[in-house]
Structures are given as C-alpha cells and as structure tokens.
Amino acid sequence: MAISFTLNEREVAAEFPPNRLLIDLLRDHFKLKGTKRSCDMEVCGACTVLLNGQPVSSCTTLAADADQGSIVTIEGLSPEAGLSRIQQAFVDHGAAQCGFCTPGFIVAVTDLLSRNPSPSDDEIRHHLRGNLCRCTGYVKILEAVKSLVPPGREGVKAQVKA
C-alpha cells in the first residue's frame, strides 16, 4: 500500500505491504536509527515516537497508521546544531547512561511538558512509568525533568484540577 505523511516536518511517501510495522519503516526505510527496538511488546518505551502528537510504541503500530498524519521521532526533536532543552537537561543531570532508552524518554518527556509544563514529581513519575531504563538511572532522569519545570510551579495543573 502507498501512504504519504509528515515525518519530522517533511512531506514523505512510502510503499510497503500492510503488515509493515512503523518501527521498521522508520529504521529501515527512512534510516532513522534513534528509535530503538527493545522489548518489541510496547512495555519498555524505547521505540516511542509521536503519531499525530500522541506518544505510541512504534513496535506495535502499523506503518499504515501514519497515512495522512504526522510522525515525530527523536531526530525531529533535535535542533540541527546543538541539543534541545530537554536533551541538554538530560546531559546536565547525567540522565543518560548507556543511552539506549534515552530517545524514548525524550519523546515521552516532550509529550508530558507539551500538555503540562509544570508537572509535580508524582505526575512526572506517572507519565514516565512506561519507559524502562536498564541502567537504573531513574533518579537522574527525574532530576532532569524537574529542572525543566519553572521554579515554584511544580504541580500547578494538579492543584488547579483538585
């Protein structure tokens, strides 16, 4: 089948059999290797990309689902030169160890902060619960995300809701 979609703000098209998975299209056809295959069963989060603005496991999404929509991968979240503010925060706080889970975390954090710029610690933990880090680096990752919340604004949305 033939599809066309926006990939990291670029119009692209591809043709493939319907059983093709999104992760294979991204890694094999478009050579975007930042999206990692790990658990292969939507548990670990290493393959997270944004599909129409929502985080999805690209290992368990059909490539066909991108048709007429938009996909953002870790490559699309990185400026041409230097690092994004989320990437920089991960570097500054030592939140990347082997680095394998990091792209998935950056995509998940992008989704969190775009909807809730001032998450509480609990909200950060809840949102990132589905991203696994085998280097056990969660404390550093939490610190990196917390550093992106404006001082005194933690959990503002949660308080308003309550």
* Footprint on this chain of another protein (rule: CB under 8 A): 1, 17-21, 24, 40-43, 45, 48, 51, 54-57, 60-62, 64-65, 108, 111, 126-127, 129-131
**69 vs 94 by CB, closer to another protein:** 69
**Cα distance between residue 70 and residue 10, in whole Å:** 9
**Cα distance between residue 91 and residue 107, in whole Å:** 15
Could you tell me the smallest distance in angstroms from the CB atom of residue 38 to another protein?
12
**Cα distance between residue 149 and residue 119, in whole Å:** 7
Could you tell me the smallest distance in angstroms from the CB atom of residue 152 to another protein?
26
Could you tell me the smallest distance in angstroms from the CB atom of residue 26 to another protein?
14
Q: How far does CA 15 lie from the centroid of its chain?
A: 25
Q: Give me the torsion for CA of 125, 141, 104, 151, rounded to 10°.
A: 70
**18 vs 152 by CB, closer to another protein:** 18
Backbone angles phi, psi at 54, to 5 degrees: -115, 140
**30 vs 83 by CB, closer to another protein:** 30
**38 vs 83 by CB, closer to another protein:** 38
Could you tell me the smallest distance in angstroms from the CB atom of residue 28 to another protein?
11
Could you tell me the smallest distance in angstroms from the CB atom of residue 92 to another protein?
24
Distances (CA, A) of 78 to 82, 111, 134, 156: 8, 15, 24, 28
**Cα distance between residue 149 and residue 30, in whole Å:** 34
With H, G, I as helix, E, B as strand and everything else as coil, classify residue 15: strand
**83 vs 100 by CB, closer to another protein:** 100
